[in-house]
Structure 1
Amino acid sequence: MKPDLQIVGAGLTGLTAAIEAAERGWRVTVAEAHSSPGGRARTLAEPFRANLGTHAIYVDGSWWEWLERRDLTPPIVEAPRLPGLVRAGGRLGPWPAELSQAIAALPAEAPAEESLRAWLLRHVDAKTAEAIIAVVFIFTFDHDPGRLSAAFAHQRLRRALAGGVRYVVGGWSTLVDLLAERAVGLGARIRTQTRVLALPEGPTILATSLASARQLTGDSSLTWPSARTVSVDMGLRAEDSPDWFRVLDLDDRIYAARYSLADPTLAPAGHELLQISAACAPDERKADAERRVHRLLDQCWPGWPAAVQWQRSALRTHCTGAVDLPGTTWHDRPAISRGGTLTVATDQSAAPGLLAEVGIAAAQLAVRQLGEPSRPTQAYERV
């Protein structure tokens, strides 16, 4: 009989772990507190299909290759060929070519022990340094990316600008459904509306947030810095809408994109889905961050309040992945193996990757560390 493996959490991390483990011969049970799999990768029901978590997927990483080998890649679309706007110095305009040139001219490597701001100021002027720091917000969600490790920020900046992103048609739930179906097809059991209140006995992967893992284990060392972000999602009538796809606010650390222009299935006909992320400092109130968002919209979408048909907002803490401070790297984050047969796979674990990819890599490492108890049910090249 195959040995049992318990996985807590059926987000992208937990489902990836379930597939890897089932392939290797484990009998897998996944417990999910919500009524459906997905975790932070869930998508709201119609009419406006907003993603609860991240919005795009980088197709140049090892996880995309993992999906391709298993014929699990979801249908994707690229960003529409519409201009993007950058707000700098209070003015809106196109992406400044000189900013790309400055980023390209930076050294190939940056030190982990130095802050991004201090390192940049040795290579560019102060105005350019702050502009680059503002761009780093897009993939860290941090209110002041200049305080982060130069190596952490620079590596991700190079990749984010070089690789590009794709958008999953129908929202993240499309990919979640593919992963869940494959996991079940390999014999995994996914039990929704099952909240785990105590650590399961035997081999276990906690594929939750780091805070939830800390609460379940009582292990105070399960902590790592993350960002504090306000998300604002809106469904708007499309008439008299502007001609941009996305806006990057370098002044106020805000990123806005009209995702339904890339994927029309996300909004009803004649409407658009706009999703916005705004950096939120530790002492800033949610309402103050929302006011900053509204000021940006006043400038880039005149008359937007009259077009709003639906909206929601939330303050999100410790749910946008790990950020590494100077003197640390991903190797210093909480270890995946916690002794015995307990492993913890989160997007703040000691694993490489960009944003949610960290959790995916942690899941794969967790399965490997638990070993292969029997011959895999299906052979794949390992990531």
Structure 2
Amino acid sequence: MKPDLHIVGAGLTGLTAAIEAAERGWRVTVAEANPRPGGRARTLAAPYRANLGTHAIYVDGPWWAWLERRGLTPPIVEAPRHATLVRAGGRLGPWPAELSQVIAALPTEAPVEESLRAWLLRHVDARTAEAIVGVVFIFTFDHDPGRLSAAFAHQRLRRAMAGGVRYVTGGWSTLVDLLAERAAGLGAQIRTRTRVPALPAGPTILATSLATARQLTGDRSLTWPGARVTTVDLGLRADSGPDWFRVMDLDARIYAARYGLADPTLAPPGHELIQISAACAPGERKADAERRVQHLLDESWPGWRAALQWYRSALRTDCTGAIDLPGTTWHDRPAVSRGDSLAVATDQSAAPGLLAEVGISAAQLALQQLGETPMLAEAHMRV
């Protein structure tokens, strides 16, 4: 058996790392501060089973293939065939088919050094460019995606428009339970309600946020730009609901989806769960973002206030994945390897992927780099 491996954080990244490490023969211990595994992928208890973090999974990505190879794919559903409402240029209406056509006609490659907005303005008119910038908000959560690297934004735009997004039946906790059960079955010890005050001795993967990794290590270089997002979750009676599944406010950077339509198990019979994300500009308060969300609901679902049964909101900072500014790529983010026995695997680490896929890719890179410890290497040399 290889020496013990400590993993701090039992979110999707930490659980993936635990499974793969145990498969390779490590004795694994996972420490999780919360009462149950999942990290930001936890799902609230009934009656309204809202997800705490990202709300969908892309089935065209490498992590989905990893899950398939292990028989760990959760039950999923596609987006319902209800209407999608879009606000662009001040007008709220159906998704404009011509916007899809324009996006599809963009060059297949975009430059790293140029901003998305500047690159788009060389190919489309200003109004269309701003609409596309608004679409990019949906999978970056940034308040102004036009400022991001054109290569970074365009690559993810192509994936998002390909339609690979799915929703996990029962919420993210369904997948978390599958991963935790497999990790435990392979011998990994998952210790919940365990807060780690200092770096463990021996090989360690910090599968946390960059901020937590920075605090544990004292390494001030563990930083990268992220987004500020206000999330609003609503439980509503469904008797007066409109005929849309999602609303994308490309002007105000708001995305609202009726997850209860995709998965009725998320809300009691006759009720719906709506989850909403609103990008926050620097300095914008949560209350101001909530007012923008409520204004959009007033337009798109006039009876929502009378149907309201449950409401929660939160301001989330740097917890929606990495964003790359012009002149940078994922290679420029904080390195996964931090020495012979320490690795940092977060959604903002130097690894490829879309949203949470970055942390999972980082965990796999970490295991490759920790694959043979100096102690084992010395033993091999003596032999």
Distance in 1 of aligned mates of 2:247 and 2:91: 12
Is the deviation greater in 115-124 or in 96-105?
Answer: 96-105
Give the share of equivalent positions with the same residue, in percent.
84
Give the match for residue 230 of structure 2. 230
Task: Please state how far the C-alpha of 1:88 moved relative to its aligned partner.
Answer: 2.1
Give the match for residue 28 of structure 1. 28
Q: Deviations over 1:71-120 (max 9, x none)?
A: 00000111111111111233321111111111111111000000000000
Is the deviation greater in 59-68 or in 82-91?
Answer: 82-91
Task: Please state how far the C-alpha of 1:164 moved relative to its aligned partner.
Answer: 2.3
Aligned residues: 373
Give the match for residue 241 of structure 2. 241
| Equivalent position amino acid for 1:167 in 2 | Y
| Equivalent position amino acid for 2:70 in 1 | R
> Under a length normalisation based on structure 1, what TM-score does the superposition of the two structures give?
0.96
Give the match for residue 88 of structure 2. 88
Contact 1:351 / 1:359 at 8 angstroms: preserved in 2? Answer: yes
Give the match for residue 59 of structure 1. 59
Q: How does 1:156-195 map to 2 (within 5 A)?
A: 156-195=156-195
Give the match for residue 381 of structure 2. none
Distance in 2 of aligned mates of 1:372 and 1:94: 55
Secondary structure of the corresponding residue to residue 247 of structure 1: strand
Secondary structure of the corresponding residue to residue 13 of structure 1: helix
Give the match for residue 306 of structure 1. 306
Task: Please state how far the C-alpha of 1:352 moved relative to its aligned partner.
Answer: 0.2
Q: How does 1:3-152 map to 2 (within 5 A)?
A: 3-152=3-152
Write out the 4+ residue segments of structure 1 that deviate beyond 6 Å after TM superposition.
none
Give the match for residue 272 of structure 2. 272
Q: Deviations over 1:16-46 (max 9, x none)?
A: 0000100001000000000000000000000
Task: Please state how far the C-alpha of 1:372 moved relative to its aligned partner.
Answer: 5.2
Distance in 1 of aligned mates of 2:304 and 2:40: 28
Instruction: Confirm or deny that 1:350 pairs with 2:350.
Output: yes
Give the match for residue 322 of structure 2. 322
Consecutive unaligned residues of structure 2, counting only runs of 5 or more, are: 374-383
Distance in 2 of aligned mates of 1:60 and 1:89: 32
Secondary structure of the corresponding residue to residue 310 of structure 1: strand
Contact 2:89 / 2:127 at 8 angstroms: preserved in 1? Answer: no
Task: Please state how far the C-alpha of 1:298 moved relative to its aligned partner.
Answer: 0.5
| Equivalent position amino acid for 1:273 in 2 | L
Cα RMSD for the two superposed structures: 0.8
Give the match for residue 378 of structure 2. none
Consecutive unaligned residues of structure 1, counting only runs of 5 or more, are: 374-383
Contact 2:89 / 2:131 at 8 angstroms: preserved in 1? Answer: no
Q: Deviations over 1:255-301 (max 9, x none)?
A: 00000100000000000000000010002111111111011000000
Distance in 1 of aligned mates of 2:73 and 2:307: 35
Contact 1:280 / 1:289 at 8 angstroms: preserved in 2? Answer: yes
Instruction: Confirm or deny that 1:260 pairs with 2:260.
Output: yes
Distance in 2 of aligned mates of 1:273 and 1:163: 22
| Equivalent position amino acid for 1:10 in 2 | A
Give the match for residue 331 of structure 1. 331
| Equivalent position amino acid for 1:157 in 2 | L
Contact 1:59 / 1:163 at 8 angstroms: preserved in 2? Answer: no
> Under a length normalisation based on structure 2, what TM-score does the superposition of the two structures give?
0.96
